[in-house]
Structure 1
Amino acid sequence: MFHLNAAGYDDWRLPSATEFISIADYSTREPAVLSLFVNYLININSGFYWSSTTDSIDHDYAVRFSGAEGLLNATAKSGTWSIRCVRSTP
C-alpha cells in the first residue's frame, strides 16, 4: 500500500478514472487536459497516469489515463506509470 505525506497532508490518494475524465479537454492534444491543470495546478503532461480504478473484468488490471489524448484504458497492474495524487476537499 502506498502512503504519501506531502505539503503537510497525509490524506493523498490516486484519482478515479471518472476524476481524470473530468479534466480532459478533447479540443486539444499533447496534452489533452484543461490548460488550468497543465499550467498551474498539477502540470499533467502527455504521459500515462494510474487511476485508483480497477478494471471491472480483470482485477489484475487497472485503468490509466493518457494525458496525450485524454483517454482511459486498462493495463496490467504490474506496469510502471506515473501518478498524480489528489486530496478530497474537506
Structure 2
Amino acid sequence: MNAVAAKVHSQSIVQRFIDNGDGTITDTTTGLMWSQATLNKRGISHAKAEKLCAELDLAGHKDWRLPTADELFALADRSRHSPAIDIEAFPDTRSDWYWTSTPSAWASSCAWLVDFDYGYASHNRRDYDAFVRAVRAAPAGQ
C-alpha cells in the first residue's frame, strides 16, 4: 500500500470530502482540492488533458494540474463499482479511464490512467482517449 493510500485508509472515519460549494471538493485526508466535475464530455488525449488542466480557471484558482497516479488512485473506492468512487463527492464520474500525469517507466509514449469502473490503474498510449479531473494543492484554510 503506498503512502497516500495508507493515509486514506487510516482516516476513513473522518469526513473525507468537503464540498466547497464552488465546483471543488477538498480531500481532508490528502489536503488536495479537486474539480468536482469531470472536465470533458468525451475522451481526450493525454496532451489535451494536460492543457485542459493548465488552462482551467475554477473557483478563483488557476494553478490546476493533472493528478499523479498515486493522487488519483487514492480517490478510487474499491468497495464500490461503476463508478468506483464516492459519488456524493464526485457525482458525474464516469465508469471509465481518467488520465494522470505519471509517465510509464518503460515507454515515453505511455502514461498511467485510473479506471473508475472497477477502481484499478494501468497504462496506455498518450494518444488514447480518456477523461480528466483536475487537482491542486489546497493550502490550509482554503
Structure-2 residue corresponding to 1:6: 58
Q: CA RMSD in A?
A: 1.6
Q: 2-side partners of 1:9 and 1:41: how far apart?
A: 19
TM-score normalised by L of structure 2: 0.56
Greater C-alpha Rg: 2
- C-alpha distance in 2 between matches for 1:13 and 1:42: 21
Query: What residue is the counterpart of 2:117 in the other structure?
Result: 68
Identity of aligned residues (%): 30
1:29 corresponds to which residue?
81
Q: Which runs of 5+ in 2 are unaligned?
A: 1-49
Matched residue type, 1:29: H
Q: Which secondary structure does the structure 2 equivalent of 1:65 belong to?
A: strand
Any idea what the Cα deviations from partners look like across 1:36-71, whole Å, max 9, x if unmatched?
Answer: xx2224642312110011001101101111010111
* Higher alpha-carbon deviation: 39-48 or 66-75: 39-48
Q: How does 1:23-62 map to 2 (within 5 A)?
A: 23-33=75-85, 35=86, 38-41=87-90, 43-62=92-111
Distance in 2 between residues matched to 1:32 and 1:24, nearest whole Å? 6
Q: Give distance in 1, aligned partners of 2:92 and 2:137.
A: 18
In structure 1, list runs of 5 or more residues that go unmatched. Answer: none
Q: Could you list the per-position Cα deviations for residues 9-62 of structure 1 after superposition, in whole angstroms to 9, with x for gaps in the alignment?
A: 1100111110122122212211112x2xx2224642312110011001101101
Which residue matches 1:80? 129
For residues 90 and 129 of structure 2, what CA distance do their matches in structure 1 show?
A: 23
Q: How many residue pairs were aligned?
A: 87
